[in-house]
Chains A and B, each alone.
Chain A
Amino acid sequence: MSKVKNLQDLKKMRDELKGKINLREKSDHPESMVQIKVSMATCGIASGARETMNYMIDELDSQAIDAVVTQTGCMGYCYAEPTIEVTMPGEKPLVFGNVNTKKASEIIEKYIKNGELVDGIIPDSYETIDGK
């Protein structure tokens, strides 16, 4: 089995990553990173949320943007799946609807990298999905 080799590779990657994160963030608190939650219930999965999440992970990785990408349940916006919630450090969370890979790319390029708002925001007054 190749698990041991894999975990050694993971150690190597961790050491590389540690240097980079500390340099840029000066801390490894997830709150200081961009936080992305992808709604991953039956409705989201059927609409392609997994592809969106994979795409975001790949894109953030290749552009070396420090972020945490996690999953969440159904937010009740089944009509607008896939939906994602983006929280920039120090800002309120924003929920975007109909996020296919094209929209995801736009959100990364405009909102995450430059702070420009893009179409497709689902307005609501809550603080975060978990508190709902």
Chain B
Amino acid sequence: MKDLSMHLLDIAENSIKAGAKQVEVELRYADNRLVMTISDNGCGMDEEMVNRITDPYITSRTSRKVGLGLPFLKMNAEQTGGNIMISSEQGRGTTVKAVFLTDHIDCVPPGDLASSLSLLMTGNPEINFVIRLIKDDDAFEVSSNEINEVLEGIPISHPKVGVFVRNMLKEEF
């Protein structure tokens, strides 16, 4: 993965696969640390799976035998001096937290985070995404439910809405 925005999209995709109805994405910037937290209320995993999940040859999918999303995230976080934490409970959901030290020379660039987040929201109309952006004392939060309320029945996946949401999020980054 070339940048953080790709990781974000990729990890959130796991939540969608886990059948989550709500996915919370939080990006917290403080000094030289970026903490990216993705938590969902999907099917979760048992402890054995949590312990093995960063092994690239472990995956729950059947269409292919490798699962590279979390191993890549772990590699990119650890090469900056950061780490990842995964907690999960079966039937309750999963939380993935990745810490990046953004001033490290090996930290991948942030990439187009606004576009990843907007595609998640508009590309998965049945899931409520809660997006939280915390920069020092400034906080911004928006959710798919809020947007859907305003839209009054127009599908969130309509291209016009997609462009709007992307531009709205771009202003916040």
Residues on A facing B (Cβ under 8 Å)? 1-3, 6-7, 9-11, 13-14, 17-18, 21, 28, 30, 33, 38, 40-43, 45-46, 50, 53-54, 56-58, 60-61, 65-71, 73-76, 78
Residue in contact with B157 in the complex, picked from A28, A50, A70, CB distance below 8 Å:
A70
Residues of A within 8 A of B172 (CB): 2
Inter-chain CA distance A132–B146, complex, in Å, is 32
Inter-chain CA distance A13–B64, complex, in Å, is 42
B95 CB-CB contact with A under 8 Å: no
Inter-chain CA distance A46–B67, complex, in Å, is 13
B116 CB-CB contact with A under 8 Å: yes
- Contacting pair B158 A7 (CB below 8 A): no
| A28 and chain B: residue at smallest CB distance | B153
Min distance, Cβ A103 to any Cβ of chain B, angstroms: 18
Question: Given A28-B153, A38-B123, do A13 and B13 touch, yes or no (CB 8 Å)?
Answer: no
Residue in contact with B147 in the complex, picked from A10, A28, A38, A53, CB distance below 8 Å:
A10
- Contacting pair A41 B13 (CB below 8 A): yes
- Contacting pair A2 B171 (CB below 8 A): yes
| B125 and chain A: residue at smallest CB distance | A70
- Contacting pair B9 A40 (CB below 8 A): yes
Min distance, Cβ B110 to any Cβ of chain A, angstroms: 14
> Besides A13-B161, A17-B158, 6 other CB < 8 A contacts?
A21-B158, A45-B1, A54-B115, A68-B125, A68-B158, A78-B64
Min distance, Cβ A128 to any Cβ of chain B, angstroms: 15
B49 CB-CB contact with A under 8 Å: no
- Contacting pair A68 B6 (CB below 8 A): no
- Contacting pair A54 B119 (CB below 8 A): yes
Question: Given A57-B159, A68-B155, do A10 and B61 touch, yes or no (CB 8 Å)?
Answer: no
| A78 and chain B: residue at smallest CB distance | B64
Residue in contact with B122 in the complex, picked from A1, A14, A42, A69, CB distance below 8 Å:
A69
Residue in contact with A40 in the complex, picked from B1, B123, B125, B158, CB distance below 8 Å:
B123
